[in-house]
Amino acid sequence: MTAPAPTRSSTRQVRIVRSVALVGAGGLTSLAFAPAQWWPLALVGVALFFRLVRHDLPQSSLGIRSGLARGYLFGLGFQTALVGWVSVLGWWIGVVLVLVMAGFQAVTGAGVALTRRSRWWPIWAAAAWSFAEFCAARFPVGGFPWFRLAWTTADQPLGGYLPWLSVAGVSFLVALVAALLVMVAERDSRRQVVLATAGVVTVAGLGAGLWAVPLPNDEGDTVAVGMVQGNVDGTAGSQAMGYARSVTNNHLSETITLMARARTGLDPMPTFVLWPENSTDIDPTHDAETAALVGDALRIADRPILMGIAARGPGPGQRQTTGLWWDPEQGVGARYDKRNLVPFGEYIPLRDLLLPLLPILEQVGSQGVPGTRPGVLPVNVDGRALVLGDVICFELAYDGTVYDTVRGGAQLVLVQSNNATYTGTGQPRQQFQITRVRAIELRREVVVATTSSFSGSIDPKGRVLDVTDEATAAARTYTVPTRTGVSLAARIGTWVDWGLAALATVGMGWALVGRRRSGATPAG
């Protein structure tokens, strides 16, 4: 007896249920990221995604259109929960970002659907996710690689691979384990279940074992970093940095606190002082009143300050987000200009075209100009040569920018950030979690200074040694060792990223050619 043919009504109900499940799977996956940080949900959510994309596609079709649609639905749930905080800049900005970012999951969905008939489909599916991460780090307007699965691995077995395979490689492994779990759940054959289970156990077990590998013996002298978090009123939203000189005043006040604690023996005496991104919201090299505040801080500290400034220039109507080394005796020294600028936050893409159409973009202010050199700062403190690696805010998500610091000889990695605009949202916690992953990947201590949210010290295992509260002022001195080694991940991470993108391209291309030769149609 044959089963009755599905009616139009039942087909519509199946599609609705599947659509809701896809959006829900995306939301579930986002909970693996900060602030929730329930890392097993990365495996569960991505496994559900792969299963829902693969399920019930016609044998005779390529499935590309269905894969795109299903991936986009997953992406809508995923990205809305993950990066919806950007709506504090304007609800329409949040909508546009989510709609754009969901497109990367659509690409993954198309890749999963296209390669679904291959016996090696878990590898191709994981590579398809890696391909989406690769693209998101570059397009559009410089990319925004905020959804990488590796950001969830600071507290789970697969995080053990970070110093060896890089963020790109670990994201691939997370997606691969999720795909293998689908193979186990589908139970097409006993052999398949055994192999997939063995794969999960092997990958996870090796990752857990790598956590125990000791750090290389490359530790040098210690440095006492005086971290200052001046605090900024985040209730102003996108205008949070707009109170002229108040930000600098706040950091001057906390520098006084920092040195008072050191001189009374409560904290170690700092080697130098670290201020966050935009801690001087007016360029002190051009504004006399702001320069006077900086001068007060330098005299009180009596040691150099690495400060974040909103630098004027290099041309008329332009600005740069800069880390500036300022010595009380030698004056302005080493400088790093932020390379990965935030579109529509620090600069306007196609400014001449868009500004007349969207006058609200005037709020962006002067056009940001990216730097061209790595964040490697050779400095001198009391006759001691030291090389600092500077990463500014969102740059943490960009591999090359981060790797360039240690490949350029940085002995200590510092993060300067301004999260004031996003106070009370998930963004500051997400960025701090990314910082933990980078510390593990680089096998370096990392000291973070922010204007108002989650400054702190992180060790090379990603353990948080200290972290400040949100929306508060704080001053701490962290004594950390310098290091000279460069992790394998920092050496090969860029190649791993490109290699996985190439693997996905080969897999999808091979499947496309093979399916077309067999007469499959694009529908589905």
Per-residue pLDDT tens for 275-317?
999 999 899 999 999 999 999 999 999 999 999 999 999 999 9
The Cα angle at residue 20 between residues 16 and 24, in degrees rounded to 5: 170
Given a cut of 80, whether residue 514 has pLDDT beyond it is: no
Cα dihedral: 510, 512, 516, 522 (round 10): 170
SS (H, E, C) 54-71: HCCCCCCECCHHHHHHHH
Q: What is the largest CA-CA distance in the chain?
A: 92
Pick from 32, 132, 18: which is nearest to 73 by CA?
Answer: 18
- The reported pLDDT for the residue numbered 521 is 60
- What mean pLDDT comes out for the span 108-126? 95
- How many beta carbons lie within 10 A of that of residue 288, not counting itself? 8
Residue 236: pLDDT band with limits 50, 70, 90: very low
Given a cut of 60, whether residue 1 has pLDDT beyond it is: no
Pick from 408, 487, 412: which is nearest to 220 by CA?
Answer: 412
Given a cut of 70, whether residue 515 has pLDDT beyond it is: no
Give the helix/strand (H/E) hosting 30.
helix 8-30
Residue 242: pLDDT band with limits 50, 70, 90: very low
- The reported pLDDT for the residue numbered 10 is 77
Pick from 479, 504, 430, 420: which is nearest to 150 by CA?
Answer: 430
Given a cut of 50, whether residue 467 has pLDDT beyond it is: yes
Per-residue pLDDT tens for 53-91?
998 887 667 789 999 999 999 999 999 999 999 999 888
- The reported pLDDT for the residue numbered 357 is 78
Share of the chain above pLDDT 90, in %: 79
Per-residue pLDDT tens for 175-184?
999 999 999 9
At 31, give phi and psi (nearest 5°). -70, -10
Per-residue pLDDT tens for 396-439?
999 999 999 999 999 999 999 998 889 999 999 999 999 999 99
Given a cut of 60, whether residue 240 has pLDDT beyond it is: no
The residue type at 85: W
Give the helix/strand (H/E) hosting 32.
none
Query: Which of 48-62, 125-139, 142-156 is the least confident region?
Result: 48-62
Pick from 104, 97, 66, 103: which is nearest to 81 by CA?
Answer: 97
Per-residue pLDDT tens for 350-397?
888 888 877 877 877 899 999 999 999 999 998 899 999 999 999 999
- What mean pLDDT comes out for the span 89-106? 93
pTM check: above 0.85: yes
Q: Mean pLDDT, the chain, as a whole number?
A: 92
Residue 241: pLDDT band with limits 50, 70, 90: very low
Residue with tokens 């868009």: 354
- List of residues 6+ apart from 454 with CB closer than 8 A: 419, 428, 429, 431, 432, 448, 467, 468, 470
Question: Which residue did the predictor score with more confidence, 190 or 340?
Answer: 340
**Residue 386, both tokens:** 């030291």
Give the helix/strand (H/E) hosting 259.
helix 246-263
Pick from 247, 278, 239, 232: which is nearest to 360 by CA?
Answer: 239
Centroid of chain to Cα 361? 25
- The reported pLDDT for the residue numbered 213 is 93
- List of residues 6+ apart from 240 with CB closer than 8 A: 232, 233, 234, 420, 421, 423
Return the sign of the alpha-carbon dihedral for residues 333, 338, 344, 347. positive
Bond prior to 328 in cis (omega within 30° of 0): no
